[in-house]
Structure 1
Amino acid sequence: MMISLHKAIYLLVSLFSFAFIQAQNKIPFGVVKAEDGYANVRIAKDDYRKIIDKLRKGDIFMYVKPAPGETEWIWIKYPEKPQTEKPFVRYETLDKEGMVNKDRIIFIDQLPQYTPSKSKNGRSLIFTDNTNQKIPTAQRSKVVIDIYPSNASYRKQEKDADGKILTIDKIKPWGISNEIPEGMTEVKSIRVQQPGRGSVFVREAVKNLFQPTLDFNNVGVTAIDNDNIFLYMINGSGESRYTTVWTIKEGKVINQIIYNNPE
């Protein structure tokens, strides 16, 4: 029995959606990887696709769904960049949306992965670029996450009428709700080590990130190349679980996307 054109299109879109979601294993974030350096953001209007924005190589977005009625396009959300350029920006909302061609992007956790390990004291997560075995070990790029017990209980807190912690030292906290649990940990610092480069993440990039994971299933470092590196973490638990992704450009952190995704 022949199926209708409408049903055939629906089936194709459904299969594409399933395949694309399967390719994205851990986090719903993608990045522009186009060789010519950009991806147009479009929105369906009447019978043509209108260009509404342009993302550059290395720009991060969140995957939402297959674009309605499309098989080669996906619907995304992404942050609005500040009008004046800043050394670092933390994005907590994704205000813009549209569709991009799937051939111009890749999921962050599908890029080449750095090899994870832990320090002897277990307080640092170390990620090493072992993709080129010809490079001496001491000269390979690394990203190091330092995790230590938190002193947040001694810092100034602001709460709402229900007791929820709104700010700690005037900054929104992540990974906690009404109480600071005993033995809580936090991200203390993140360091980038590259030949000819080296940097420590600015304080704003790690501020108030509580209950960071030690599970390598929930944290990773991937890269397009040495100039475009991405660090992602799924931290916290239950209603306080959150996901964050940092962009490391030419050895320095330039932005971070962070959002709450309860279990």
Structure 2
Amino acid sequence: MSAFPTKLSGVACCLAAMVATGCASSPEPIIGPAVITPRADLGQQEFAAIAANTYALRPSDQISVNVFREPELSIENVRLGVDGTVSLPMLGAIPAAGITTAQLEQDISRRLLAAGLRTPMVAVNIANYASHLVTVEGAVTEPGVFAFQPGARLSSAVAMAKGPTEIAKEEQVAVFRESPEGVLVAKFDYRQVRQGTMLDPILQPGDRVVMGTDGLSVFYKNALQALPAFGTFGLVLVR
């Protein structure tokens, strides 16, 4: 009898075991406070663990401005331009990016008062955090560009992309971030993030998350798929 089936079944077992390691269950979380200290050796210094208490408006955000008892001066869902200004009735374009909604309310009230409106009462609300987009790519199930709410974390970005694939190298997650000094790159171990033993950073608009890929796993997965589906696994099961 040929030794080929035995060798083939051995290869299949080996390949199946290697592929299966990519499907292992997630690590157990460590009970207690999660790590919030960034690691300088991984470039995490500029990545925050705690969300800010206030929010400064950004270009592309959409706001609604309500002037009490002045419907002709009120406006719904107006977008901040790329220059950070917003156009309002009677006032024209005024700067809005980089300040809070409370500060913008005060500025609009002051401008309306100077324009002749008595005791203006202004309310500004954020209709859409449209500036908050994150790109997730690499070894994730559904890569793409996703909208997120302020305070969302790296783990949220991975979840929006439906999680890592079987061939993901979870210990090699890179986050690219624009800064005044240029593009910053930090490395994170997604397994440790899920355990709570590594910082799960707050996302910033424009972040790019790249889940690493295990090229060796890709090779073995392709090799396993190339084997005869029924004969090979039949030999594996009966041995």
Point out the structure with max Rg over C-alpha: 2
Q: Please state which structure has a larger fraction of its residues in helix.
A: 2
On whether the aligned pair clears a TM of 0.5, the verdict is no
Higher relative contact order (CA 8 A, sep 6+): 2
TM-score (norm: length of structure 2): 0.20
